[in-house]
Amino acid sequence: MSKDLYNFEKDFPSELMTLNLIEPVIDELRKFANISEDVYHNIMISVTEAVNNAVIHGNKFDKSKKVHLEIRVNSEYIYISVSDQGNGFDPASIPDPTQGDNIFKESGRGVFLMNELSASTEFVITSEGTTVKLKFPCK
């Protein structure tokens, strides 16, 4: 395993305005890791979806709960984890947003987008909450 070149870790409030706080963090990551425009956009969309899901579905806007963001970068990959303090869910139970009437729904695409835009997506569900682990190439 490569040595980490960059580490970031912080708790954010369970509010949609958290997205405004996280965007500069991703911008700083972009500058540090010199990532491509495509990878930057994939990260921004995926992290936005993960944070939205954590605030809305995980923590259910409960201001006493936090969204935890962790970023690690080594020479090959960017690892991003977004954690909530909710009850968890079964990712396999989410309807495919590309099928049938789901195409017309205004929500339900977050997990699909994370899976499509990252090199890997993993959901870790515990009694303390759900963590989405995303992996992106550095280049």
pLDDT at residue 103 tops 80: no
Q: Which CATH architecture has domain 6-137?
A: 2-Layer Sandwich (3.30)
Distance of CA 75 to CAs 26, 35, 47, Å? 17, 11, 21
Per-residue pLDDT tens digits for 19-69: 999 999 999 999 999 999 999 999 999 999 999 999 999 999 999 999 999
- Its sign, for the CA torsion 86, 77, 110, 55, is positive
pLDDT at residue 106 tops 80: no
- pLDDT at residue 102, rounded to an integer: 47
Contact between 10 and 22 under an 8 Å Cβ cutoff? The reply is no
The Cα 30–Cα 39 span in angstroms is 9
Q: pTM for the whole thing?
A: 0.88
pLDDT top residue among 111 and 103? 111
- Its sign, for the CA torsion 55, 91, 81, 29, is negative
